[in-house]
Amino acid sequence: MAELVVALAEVGRQDGARVGGKNASLGEMIGRLAGAGIRVPDGFATTAAAYWRYVEANDLRERIGEAIGALAPDLSNLAEIGGRIRAAILGGQMPPDLAEAISAAYRRLGGEQAASVATRSSATAEDLPEASFAGQLESFLNVTGEAAVLDACRRCYASLFTDRAISYRENHGFDHLQVALSVGVQRMVRADLAGSGVMFSIDTETGFPRTALITAAWGLGEAVVQGMVEPDEYQVFKPLLDSAPRPIVERTRGGKACKMIYAEQGATRLVETEPTERARFVLADEEVLQLARWACLIERHYGQPMDMEWAKDGESGELFIVQARPETVQSRRAAGELRSYRLGRAGERLLTGLAIGDAIGAGPVCRLESAAEIERFRDGAVLVTGMTDPDWVPIMKRAAAIVTDHGGRTSHAAIVSRELGLPAIVGTGEATARLQDGQEVTACCAEGDEGHVYAGIAEFEVERIELAQIPRTRTRTMVNLANPAAAFRWWQLPADGVGLARMEFIISNHIKVHPMALVRYEAIEDAAVRGQIDALTAGYDDRRDYFVDTLARGIARIAAAYWPRPVIVRMSDFKTNEYAALLGGAQFEPHEENPMLGWRGASRYYDADYREGFGLECRAIRQAREEIGLDNIVMMIPFCRTPEEADRVLETLAGHGLVRGKAGLAVYVMAELPANVFLAGEFARRFDGFSIGSNDLTQLVLGIDRDSGRLGRAFDERHPAVTTAIAALLTRAQLAGVHTGICGQAPSDHPEFARWLVRQGIDSISVSPDSFLRVKRHIAEAEQEPGPVDPAGEAPAAPAASDPAQDRCPGPADAG
């Protein structure tokens, strides 16, 4: 007689046909990974044979077959058919031999005391890479006593025929009478007293394989999976787990407005969290790193990206893995191809939320309150609702995009949208209140981690890029990045690193507070400003740590995308009017008539009125390089006017523990001033390289405000005066043996300018990611072509630079 119940420790991943993918995976981890320190709650599973024993004992096979045979092709009678089958299963009696086998296993699990257990459904076709049944079946928590366990098993059997499960099998071609169900019974982890969440061994939005994504909320994990709560989110850079102290490249505090806890037998309820819980992170850094190490071990053991659930026991303080299955979205994407969406002209921005995926979808809004309103939905509409659960899948499959009020990156809406390849914007907070039925909108997830809903049908392009077709070049081709949220989106580009990472974007968009308002918080006079700062820095004992931590992790995320290739981080280069626009900034910034030529860049770093703020920037660089471990970060100093100013900046850096050459630290200077060209030899003795800022250099060589609408047509980086300066700088830098690159916009906008730079012998060209492929091809062609290249495409080529010594302006020694 076939075995009806088996201990989880006695099964492995080869037993999916016997106990389902979920239980087979739990058994695999208990048997194979416990020695590596991974904890999985002990338990047992009913087998597929037990399910068929129940079906046969209650004469259910024929009744199920007849009901399925009556299912309409358009599933219009799905609710009636599903209800009929579930009622038949729930009305059955547990065969005595099966009841005793389950009861005996339960008694062994609990010993003398009745154990509190979780009963989870595991279908025998579940969790295959080509078919994820995740979320289709039922689980019952906090079940105690033999009778309650038997009843929970019966209810798990019935959940094989929920409306959503029937619809899923119909859509994926599974024979309903060939799929069995195993019930996993495990000791409960008291996550209701602590926290739980979801974990992936890759980045779920981009497929970036070198980070582990962990979400965490207070209480039971179902609140996270079902999108009821905005969880904390952590990303860990896996390659540095064994070498760096804390390689956590992202740590975002979620709202965590509620949590799920136990109620009566087998039930749960939602309660509001305390303000102190909302302000705190659920996991300490060491716990985050422990989970990430487990994710790596599990991924390595299974040989593929994995989707896992974890829980922390509030009584013992121990972490547990309670589920592991193959990741079924990014792992199925075609390798070697990039599909890039680019937003063009768009209407008014209406809403912002978390972007799921990187696509764009548009159509009329269909706002629904429940999945029961399926008959109102029209194919190609944008589904707008509060949140989704598995009942929504038949509707979601027909949508052009999905927008929800609630949910995080591991919510049901996010997981299913990725599987369906749909753009989704979750956690907007007010989609159902702001968007109206029939209103045409565009849901854009192509702008980084934040997704935006625009009024009307926007213009957008889709480009498919075959990585194998991108040529190799001697000239390094790098990318310019500002938004850490978008960094992983471009990880597959064969870039040679990041030529410009703009620190000010992270400060203005993520930190939002002027650094001196944190250093001198007690001096802030505006009570409203103090309140806003308090809200942003909640959870930090020292408000300055908020600035350092947020900046460090933003930089680290960009650096991780291209590690170990160089990532050049420009230190802050706000003008005074831009600094004043930051929260609390007006009190610490002077008014300047011409901020473009005022107190900016290097001149601020050693000044008494900002050097403490610059100290926070330096702490962030050290944290990113030394604690997170991304030593591929190169520092770059902007708007450095004189060699003497360079000396003061380097001395200031050293005072903050950032010594050029120590621990491999390279420091570049932006070449954006005529002084940088004229005295290139002097600057080359102080810095490891030049990065040409063609926008400011053009402005200062031609004397044109780069923001002037009236003079805009005369502003041209390809003008012979500008190219003469660039050619001279390149020659002098090459003689000095230091790195040369360009990070301005000109090569992205003007391919012939990029070709000219190649012929001048520049070491690297950095461009915007969406122009990378086009510029890379022009660089490859330029490296193959003989003869001069015209940087403007029309005017004569810039004259070659003469000897640097002869170009030096006369000084006192030359007078007379």
- List active site positions: 412, 743
Residues 6+ apart with CB under 8 A from 83: none
Q: ω before 564 within 30° of 0 (cis)?
A: yes
Helical spans, DSSP H, in 124-226? 146-158, 163-172, 222-225
Closest CA to 388 of 358, 421, 414: 414
Which amino acid type is present at position 711?
L
DSSP string, 65-83: HHHHHT--TT-TTHHHHHH
Helix (H) or strand (E) holding 443, with range, is strand 440-444
Conformational region of residue 51, where left means phi above 0, alpha means psi within -120 to 50, and beta covers everything else = alpha
Please give the span between the terminal C-alpha atoms of the chain, in angstroms, as a whole number: 112
Which amino acid type is present at position 93?
Q
Q: What are phi and psi of 679, to 5 degrees?
A: -110, 35
CB-CB contact of 352 with 405 (8 Å): no
E-only strand ranges, 624-783 = 633-637, 667-671, 689-692, 739-742, 764-767
Q: Structure tokens of 616?
A: 């926070």
- C-alpha torsion sign, points 375, 379, 385, 389: positive
Return the DSSP state at 663: G
Residues 6+ apart with CB under 8 A from 741: 476, 478, 499, 568, 689, 690, 691, 692, 762, 763, 764, 765, 766
Distance CA 541, CA 550 (A): 14
- Helix 611-622 × helix 643-655 angle, to 10°: 60
Q: Structure tokens of 275?
A: 């303000």
Beta-sheet pairing, 424-426 with 440-444: unpaired
Conformational region of residue 773, where left means phi above 0, alpha means psi within -120 to 50, and beta covers everything else = alpha
Q: Structure tokens of 364?
A: 């009329």
Q: Structure tokens of 577?
A: 């009017």
Residues 6+ apart with CB under 8 A from 768: 479, 480, 745, 748
Distance CA 455, CA 435 (A): 10
Distance CA 36, CA 295 (A): 12
Residue with structure tokens 């091809």? Answer: 777
